[in-house]
Chains A and B, each alone.
Chain A
Amino acid sequence: MRNLFALLARTHRWLLFLALWGVALGWMNTTYSHHRTALAGWSLRASGSWLNAAANVQEWTHLAESNRLVMLENARLRAELESLKERRTAPWQTGDASVLRSPGWNGSPWMVLNRGGRDGLTLGAGILSQGFAAGRIVDTTAHESLVLTLTHDVAQWSVRMGRAGQAGRLVAKEGDVRRASVLDIPWSQLVLPGDTVMTTGFDGVFPADVPVGMVEDVVGNETDEFQTVVVSLGANYPGARHVVWLEHPRNGRLDSLSSAPSNTP
C-alpha cells in the first residue's frame, strides 16, 4: 500500500492532467452533439473490437477441445466405415482408441494405446491412423496395448503398388517415422512419385487395399532386377491422437499357428 501511495505521489501530476482531460471531454460530451456522436461511435467501435477479440480468444481456447471431439468422431466414423465395407466379405471387428505414446517421442518406434484386452483388443489386430495402415498389436494389458508400427526396423509388411501392382516388402528406415522403403519391386513395374502404396492383405493383419502411403522417390541401379521405392507414410505418427483397430478372427489363429511349439523343427 505504501508503494502504491509512493507511485501515486510520483505520478500525481500526470494523473491530475488525465483527470482534467477527462473532465474536459465529459464536459464536451454533454455540450456538443457532434462530439457526443463521435464519442459514442468510438466507444461502440472500441467495445465491438474488444468483444470480438475476447470472442476470438474464447473460440481459440475451445478449439483444442472441439478438435479432439472431431478426431474422435472421425475415428468412430472410420471404424463404422470399415465395418460396413467388410460386412459382406469377412467379419472384421473395428473400434477406436486413443494414442498414449507414439513413434517420434524419444525416438521409440512403438505406439501405446489406451485400450487393452478388457476392451476387446487382441494380439494381431491391425491399427489404422487417419485411414492409413499404422501397425499391429503385439502385446496387451487389461487397458493398454503395444503396437508394432511400420516405423520399426525389424518388421516387414506386405504391400503393393496401387491396387493391382507388384507386391513387395515394406521395411522401415531406421530413425525415420515419416518414410519407409518398399523392396523387391521389379523394374518392370512402372512406379512414379505420387502413386499410392496399398496393403496386399497377405499378412492377415490388414484387409487388402488399405492405403499405406505415397511414393516419394524411386532409387536403385537399373542394372539390378529390383528397384527400391521410398514411401512417404500416410500415418502421421508424431501427430496421431486417435486410431482405429481392425481385428479378424483369423489374426489370432495365424498368431497361434506361428507361435505354436510344433512349428519348431
Chain B
Amino acid sequence: MSAFFPLFWTLGWALVCQVLLFRYGIFWGGYGLLAIHLYGLLKMPVGWPPTTYLLLAAVTGGIMDVVCFTGGMHLAASVTLGMAYPTLTAAMESREGLRQGHVLDPFQDGWVRYGIFAALGLAVYWGVLFALQNGWSLMGRTLGQTALSTLFNVGAFMLIQGLLNRPTRGDQRGVSAYPWS
C-alpha cells in the first residue's frame, strides 16, 4: 500500500494537469504533443505483477479518453504501454539489477538511463496513438510525430524531475537538481 500512495499521488496530479492544461499543448503543427500523465505512469514501481501495470495503464487511458473525448485512442496506447512496461523496466536494469519496488529515477539511475527509459515508453505510446489517428496512408507523418513528441516529452519529464523530484539532504535542503547545475 505504501508503494501505491506516491504513485497514485503522482499519477493523479499528472492526469489533472494533462486534462486541464497540457492537453492544449500542441506545437509545430501537431508534431509536438504533451502527455504529462505518462510521467505518472512511468513512475510505476518495478516488480509488480504484469497484469497490474496493464490494468493501471488501461484505467489511466480510459480516463483520458472519457475526459478528452478521444474515443479509445489513449486507451489503446496506454494498454500497449502497460503491456510493454515490464519489458521496458527489465531492459533498463543495471548490472546490479533492480530491487523490488524501485521507481526509475534520474537521480538514482542516471539521466541518460532515465531518458532512454522515458523515450522508449513514450515512443510506444505515441507510436500507437498516432498510428491509430493517421492510419497506414500517413505512416511518415506518424513516425515524425512520434519522434518529435517523444523527444519533446522526454525533455519535459526531465524538467519536471529536476523541479519536483529533487533529492534532499538530511537537513531537508535541496541538492543540485540537474547535472549541469
B54→A27 contact, CB < 8 A: no
Scan B70-103; emit 1 where CB is below 8 A from any A CB, else 0: 1111011001100100000000000000000000
Contact pick for A24, options B54, B69, B73, B135, CB 8 Å: B73
| Nearest-neighbor residue (CB-CB) of B65 within chain A | A27
Contact pick for B72, options A16, A17, A27, CB 8 Å: A27
Determine how close the nearest CB of chain B comes to the CB of A253; give it in whole angstroms.
82
Main secondary structure of the interface of B (DSSP, over half): helix
* A contacts, CB < 8 Å to B: 12-13, 16-17, 20-21, 23-28, 30-32, 34-35, 38
A24→B83 contact, CB < 8 A: no
B73→A16 contact, CB < 8 A: no
Q: A17-B79, A21-B79 are in contact. Are A26 and B51 (CB under 8 A)?
A: no
Main secondary structure of the interface of A (DSSP, over half): helix
Number of interface residues of B (CB under 8 A): 19
Alpha-carbon distance A64/B76, docked complex (angstroms): 49
Q: A17-B83, A20-B79, A21-B79 are in contact. Are A28 and B72 (CB under 8 A)?
A: yes
Contact pick for A21, options B50, B51, B76, CB 8 Å: B76
B76→A25 contact, CB < 8 A: yes
Query: Is B41 among interface residues, defined by CB-CB distance under 8 A?
Result: no
Contacts of B132 in A (CB 8 A): 28, 35
Q: A20-B79, A38-B135 are in contact. Are A32 and B54 (CB under 8 A)?
A: no
A23→B51 contact, CB < 8 A: no
Most buried by B among A12, A21, A30: A21
Contacts of B135 in A (CB 8 A): 34, 38
Determine how close the nearest CB of chain A comes to the CB of B180; give it in whole angstroms.
41
Alpha-carbon distance A53/B85, docked complex (angstroms): 40
| Nearest-neighbor residue (CB-CB) of A38 within chain B | B135
Contact pick for A20, options B50, B58, B73, CB 8 Å: B58
B75→A27 contact, CB < 8 A: yes
Alpha-carbon distance A261/B69, docked complex (angstroms): 107
Contacts of B76 in A (CB 8 A): 20-21, 24-25, 28
